[in-house]
Structure formats: C-alpha cells, structure tokens
C-alpha cells in the first residue's frame, strides 16, 4: 500500500478540501494517508467525517509556509533541522522512508525550495523541474519546466528531457515517448541560443527525440514530452489555462444571451461541454511532479478543491507503484556515461 503524505495546510482554503480529498483517495485508491499540519485544526474535521477504519493518521506540524515566506526567511524555514512547518515535516517523512510521496497545494516556491534542501537532487541533475500535463488534440503532453527554473542551460534541458521521458513511460504509460524541444520554428537551427545549444544534446541522448516543436505542435499532439526553460513554460501554462477558461465562459455567455434555438442547442451540447471542461480542467490531473529531487513530490494549485487533491494523490500513487524515481536515477546515470 502506497503511503502518501498530504499537506493538510496547503490549499488556499485549508484544511477542508485537503482533508476531504485525502479521505476520498483513501477510500477509492486504497492508499495510506498521512495528514501533516496543525492537529488542533485537522482532528475536528477528520472526526466529523467519520472515516471508520480508513488508514489515515495525523502528524502534528504547528507552522505553515505561506506566500509571505520569501528570500532568506523562506530558505531558513525550508532547510532548518528544527523546522516545524507542514512542508518540512511532510517531506522529511519521505526522506526518512516513512512515506513514499508528498502532496501539497501550498506555495509552489516554498514546496520546491523545501524539497530541494531536504531531499537533495538526483545525482547528475543540476536543477529540478515542474512537469504538468497539457491537454492535446490526441491526449496529453508533459511540459517541463513550467516555473522552477526561469533561466536554464542546455544541460538542464537535456536532463528535463530524460526525466520527462521516464515519467511519461513509467507513469503515463506512453511507450517510447516522443520528446520535443520548444522553439519558434520546427527546423533544426531555429530558436534562441539556449535551444540551439540544447538541440544536439537531445539528438545524441538515448531518447526518442522528435526535434523542435512550436506551441501548435505541442497542443496538436505531435509529441508526448515538450522541453523548455521555466520562463517560457510558465507563460505557456498560464496562457493555456486562460484560453481554456475564456472559451468555456464565452460559450456559456453566448448560449445564455442567445435566442430560443441557441438555448435549446446549448442544452443538447451540455454533456459534450462537460466532457470538454474535464479535459482542460487542471484539477483532473491534481498536481505536477517536481522531477529531479531525490524523492517523490507533487505540487498542485493553491485553489485546489477536494477533487483536485484526490486526483493529486492518485498521480502520486501511480508514480510510487511505477518506481519512477529509481528509473529516473538509472536514466540520468546512463546519460552521465556518454
């Protein structure tokens, strides 16, 4: 049984969605849940839920890392051996082998810094990367990095490609995943200096390198993994989410303000619109893995509801059962020999 630590103080409206999502995951996925946070806040919520014999327990952590924690203050709270915040204590459970994965919907930067300081990096990996999945024309594409590293070098992109390939195959079930390098043109030789330097490294690596891809190829489903720096990836993520939200809202607005025929048509297409919303809704994936740290860490949106938390735990469980961390270490070691 996979042992998943859930940061009960993570979401914007903690602890209710965090706890409800954890309970649902324990029921549906057969995982052991360790809720980390202020026990005086968590326990009443848990008691009122009447969880019965579900394998859920609480580890007390009186402090929280919030959006206000930045700079030196954040670094101190992230790395201090005496840290009492929910992220530090939860990640230490993974580090010490008392749990298999950590899930949080808390401050993304705090989650990355805490994981980096407390777990360290996989040998050979200079920087970890956040790797969410994007909906595409024929399924999904893992895009990394989407914010952990605004500035990267060519070797960083090589490591992102290797880790993304392993994750796509082991966790997403994609055989021999195709890897694309995000650029402003499909032809070899296109792109900025970073892309031009990374291209030959990816071409030489033991991955199924497709070549350069533009944003339209990513969304069009041409590749299974798309590699870029964190600045470009974050802009791409935020833009994609905004476009998805805009389309959904505009369709509703047109139906609401339309004539009788439009409104009747809206009722007829409602099931299809619900399915479309599920495809573009980030809560269906729950959280993005932080690849490159020496442990399994998943970071979700601060606005996550119980459904998103439940799905984040499912993704973490899949990664544990696929033994993706060890596979990633082996793949990076092989790359160092070349």
Which spans in 124-229 are helix H?
A: 154-170, 193-204, 215-219
Mean pLDDT of 136-150: 89
Chain centre to alpha carbon of residue 200: 28
Q: Domain check: are 148 and 232 in the same one?
A: yes
**Does any domain span residue 297?**
yes
What pLDDT, in 10s, does the model give residues 290-318? 999 999 999 998 889 999 999 999 999 99
Counting the structural domains of the chain, the total is: 2
Q: Domain check: are 148 and 248 in the same one?
A: yes
Residue 336 confidence (pLDDT) above 90: no
Calpha distance 52→90 (Å, rounded) = 24
Q: Domain check: are 118 and 228 in the same one?
A: no
Q: Domain check: are 18 and 63 in the same one?
A: yes
Mean pLDDT of 15-38: 96
Residue at token pair 């544990």: 320
pTM for the full predicted model: 0.91
pLDDT of residue 283: 64
DSSP symbols for 215-256: HHHHHTTS-SEEE--HHHHHHHHHHHHHHHHHHHHHHHHHHH
**Does any domain span residue 99?**
yes
pLDDT of residue 3: 97
Calpha distance 9→107 (Å, rounded) = 10
Calpha distance 279→77 (Å, rounded) = 37
Mean pLDDT of 308-330: 95
Size of the chain, expressed as the number of residues it contains: 338
What pLDDT, in 10s, does the model give residues 74-100? 777 778 888 899 999 999 999 999 999
Query: Smallest Cα–Cα separation from 291: which of 140, 116, 136?
Result: 116
Query: Smallest Cα–Cα separation from 242: which of 276, 280, 272, 216?
Result: 280
What pLDDT, in 10s, does the model give residues 225-264? 999 999 999 998 888 888 878 887 888 888 888 887 777 7
pLDDT of residue 199: 96
* Residue 278 pLDDT grade (very low, low, confident, very high; cuts 50, 70, 90): low
**Does any domain span residue 334?**
no
**Does any domain span residue 330?**
no
Sequence-separated (6 or more) residues with CB below 8 Å from residue 217: 180, 186, 223
What range defines the domain where residue 77 resides?
Answer: 3-124+285-323
pLDDT of residue 237: 86
Q: Domain check: are 243 and 314 in the same one?
A: no
Q: What percent of the chain has pLDDT over 90?
A: 62
> Quick count: other Cβ atoms within 10 Å of Cβ 263?
13
Identify the CATH number of the domain in which residue 43 sits.
Answer: 3.40.718.10
**Does any domain span residue 96?**
yes
């Amino acid at each position: 049984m996979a042992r998943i630590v859930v940061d009960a103080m993570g979401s914007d409206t903690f602890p209710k969605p965090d706890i409800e999502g954890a309970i649902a995951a324990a029921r549906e996925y057969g995982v052991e849940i360790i809720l980390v946070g202020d026990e005086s806040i968590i326990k009443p919520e848990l008691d009122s839920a009447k969880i019965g014999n579900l394998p859920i327990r609480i580890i007390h952590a009186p402090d929280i890392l919030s959006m206000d924690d930045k700079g030196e203050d954040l670094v101190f709270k992230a790395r201090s051996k005496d840290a009492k915040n929910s992220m530090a204590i939860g990640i230490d459970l993974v580090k010490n082998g008392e749990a298999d994965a950590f899930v949080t919907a808390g401050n993304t930067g705090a989650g990355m810094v805490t994981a980096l300081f407390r777990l360290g990096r996989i040998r050979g990996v200079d920087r970890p990367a956040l790797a969410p999945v994007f909906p595409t024309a024929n399924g999904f594409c893992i895009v990394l990095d989407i914010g952990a590293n605004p500035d990267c070098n060519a070797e960083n992109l090589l490591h992102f490609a290797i880790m993304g390939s392993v994750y796509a195959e082991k966790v997403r079930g994609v055989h021999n995943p195709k890897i694309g390098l995000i650029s402003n043109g499909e032809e070899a030789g296109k792109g900025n200096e970073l892309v031009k330097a990374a291209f030959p490294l990816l071409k030489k690596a033991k991955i199924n390198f497709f070549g350069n891809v533009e944003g339209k190829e990513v969304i069009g489903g041409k590749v299974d993994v798309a590699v870029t720096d964190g600045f470009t990836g974050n802009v791409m993520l935020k833009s994609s989410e905004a476009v998805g939200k805009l389309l959904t809202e505009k369709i509703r607005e047109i139906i609401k303000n339309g004539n009788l025929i439009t409104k009747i048509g809206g009722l007829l297409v409602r099931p299809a619109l619900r399915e479309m919303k599920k495809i573009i809704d980030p809560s269906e994936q729950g959280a993005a893995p932080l690849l490159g740290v020496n442990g399994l860490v998943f970071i979700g949106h601060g606005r996550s509801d119980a459904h998103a938390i439940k799905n984040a735990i499912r993704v973490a469980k899949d990664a544990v059962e696929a033994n993706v961390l060890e596979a990633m270490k082996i793949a990076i070691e092989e790359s160092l020999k070349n």
